[in-house]
């Protein structure tokens, strides 16, 4: 996804940094649980890990995060 904006008569766009890959992380929100999923680039495995935690514990509510390194560059 690229978003384009104009500031001070210079066009910029923001993109994913080409030398990075997004990461996925999760944390179980059960108040008695400390399970967390360390950041990983494998989003499908992150989903499987949450489902496995649900199957093992019955805990089904998670905080999930997706993180990306972005870079702002001239639009050209």
Stretch that binds Zn ion, among 3-11, 15-23, 42-50, 55-63 (CB under 5 A): 55-63
The residue whose two tokens read 């905080």 is: 63
Distance CA 20, CA 30 (A): 32
13 is a site residue for Zn ion (CB under 5 A): no
Q: Which residue has the tokens 């496995």?
A: 52
* Closer residue to Zn ion, CB minimum distance, 13 or 59: 59
CB of 39 to Zn ion, least distance (A): 18
Q: Which of 30, 46, 19, 57 is nearest to 38 (CA)?
A: 46
Interface pick for Zn ion out of 16, 25, 27, 35 (rule CB under 5 A):
35
Which residues form the interface with Zn ion (CB under 5 A)? 28, 30, 33, 35, 57, 59
């Amino acid at each position: 996804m690229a978003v384009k904006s104009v500031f001070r008569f210079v066009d910029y766009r923001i993109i994913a940094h080409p030398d990075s890959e997004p990461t996925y992380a999760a944390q179980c929100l059960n108040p008695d649980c400390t399970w967390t999923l360390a950041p990983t680039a494998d989003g499908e495995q992150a989903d499987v890990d949450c489902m496995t935690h649900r199957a093992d514990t019955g805990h089904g509510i998670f905080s999930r995060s997706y993180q990306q390194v972005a870079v702002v560059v001239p639009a050209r």
